[in-house]
Amino acid sequence: MEQDSNRMTKDEGQLQQLKMSAGRAVVDDMVKCGMKLGLGTGSTAIHAVRRTGELLAQGQLCDISVFATSFQTEIECEKLDIPFYTLNSRELSSGLDLTIDGADEVDPQSRLIKGGGGAMLIEKLAAYASVLYAIIVDESKIVENLGTGFPVPVEVVPEARVQAAKALDKMGAVVYLREALRKAGPVITEHGNVILDARFGSPVDPAFMETELNRIPGVVENGFFTRNPPVVYIACSKGTVEIRKKP
Ligand code: 5RP
C-alpha cells in the first residue's frame, strides 16, 4: 500500500535532503553489527530507518534486532526487510544498545520535546531502554527554552480529556485537543488515547514538568524527554551535519 505523495516546494525538497544527510550520517557513525536498535518515528527518523535497511541489504550490517516505535516505522521496516521485535521479546527484553529518533525541539542541555507525530509514548520507552541515544534534527529545532514554542504533547485516556485540560490550564498552558487530518474529530493514538498539545506562556523546567505532567490523573505520557541526554545530529542549512556531543 502506498501513501499519498504531496508535491514538495524547493525549500521542502532542500530540507528533506538535509534531513537525509543527517539520518544517513548517524547510522553510518553509530550502528554496528549485532546491535539491538530502537528506530524512531517521523519524517527525519525515517531516513535512519532507510539507511539501516540499505546497509543490511548490502551486507554491510548484520545481526541487527530492531524495535520500531510506531506503525509508520514498522511498515517501513516491513518494506525494507528489517527484522523487528517487541520490547517484551526474548531478543530485546534486556534493553537496547542504541535508539535513533527525531525531535521537535532541542534545548542547550539537549533536553527534548517529542511527539509531533503522536508516538512519544513508545518513543520514550525506547529512549529510556537504550544505552546510547541519538537525535536527528534540522537547525530550526534548536531553541533556548522548551515549552513556549512547540507545544508539549500530552497523551491522555479519552475519559480524562476535559479534567486533564483543566489541570494543564492551571499549570499555565494554553491547551488544544489535537485534531486529525482526513478524519473528523481528534487524533486517536496507537494506544487508543487522545493528545492535548500544551503551550506554556513562559519557560518551564522540563525535568520537573516531565514528572509533574504525568501526575495528572489520566495522563499516560508527555513529550518532555530529559532523562537520557542524546548525541544530537544537526542538519544545517549550509549543507553540513554538526554533531553535538552528549552533555
Ligand atoms: C514523533 C516524534 C518525531 O520524531 C518528531 O515529531 C519529529 O518529527 P519530524 O522529523 O517529522 O519533524 O516525536 O512522535
* 124 and 171 together in one domain: no
How many domains does the structure of the chain reveal?
A: 2
Distance 79 CA to ligand 1 centre (A): 20
Binding site membership of 41 for ligand 1 (Cβ less than 6 Å): yes
Judged against a pLDDT cut of 90, whether residue 2 lies above it is answered with no
- For 44, the 3-state DSSP assignment is coil
Judged against a pLDDT cut of 80, whether residue 166 lies above it is answered with yes
Q: Please, which pLDDT band fits residue 15 given cuts at 50, 70 and 90?
A: confident
Binding site membership of 101 for ligand 1 (Cβ less than 6 Å): yes
* 137 and 166 together in one domain: no
Provide the whole-model pTM: 0.95
pLDDT averaged over every residue in the chain:
95
Q: Is residue 245 part of a domain?
A: no
Rounded mean pLDDT of 139-152?
A: 96
* 91 and 190 together in one domain: no
Distance 42 CA to ligand 1 centre (A): 4
* 21 and 125 together in one domain: yes
DSSP assignment of 77-142: HHHHT--B--TTSTTTTT-EEEEEEE-SEE-TT--EE--TTS-HHHHHHHHHTEEEEEEEEEGGGB
Residue 91, pLDDT score: 96
* 107 and 38 together in one domain: yes
Least confident interval from 11-25, 160-174, 186-200: 11-25
Return the bridge partners of 100, or none: 39, 134
Residue 8, pLDDT score: 60
* 131 and 15 together in one domain: yes
From atom 10 of ligand 1, which residue's Cα is the shortest distance away? Answer: 44
Residue 3, pLDDT score: 46
Q: Please, which pLDDT band fits residue 11 given cuts at 50, 70 and 90?
A: confident
Binding site membership of 118 for ligand 1 (Cβ less than 6 Å): yes
Rounded mean pLDDT of 112-118?
A: 98
From atom 4 of ligand 1, which residue's Cα is the shortest distance away? Answer: 102
Binding site membership of 151 for ligand 1 (Cβ less than 6 Å): no
* 100 and 129 together in one domain: yes
Judged against a pLDDT cut of 50, whether residue 219 lies above it is answered with yes
Judged against a pLDDT cut of 70, whether residue 125 lies above it is answered with yes
Judged against a pLDDT cut of 80, whether residue 71 lies above it is answered with yes
Question: What domain range includes position 195?
Answer: 152-223
Residue 5, pLDDT score: 47
Q: What is the percent of the chain where pLDDT is above 70?
A: 96
**pLDDT of 92-102, one tens digit each?**
999 999 999 99
**pLDDT of 17-34, one tens digit each?**
999 999 999 999 999 999
Q: Encode 198-213: b = buried (16+ Cβ within 10 Å), e = exposed.
A: bbbeeebebeebbebb
Judged against a pLDDT cut of 70, whether residue 4 lies above it is answered with no
CB atoms within 10 A of CB 164: 24
**pLDDT of 191-201, one tens digit each?**
999 999 999 99
Q: Which residue did the predictor score with more confidence, 247 or 53?
A: 53
Q: Give the residue numbers annotated as catalytic, written as ranges.
A: 123
From atom 1 of ligand 1, which residue's Cα is the shortest distance away? Answer: 117
Give the CATH number, domain containing residue 94: 3.40.50.1360
Distance 33 CA to ligand 1 centre (A): 26
* 58 and 139 together in one domain: yes
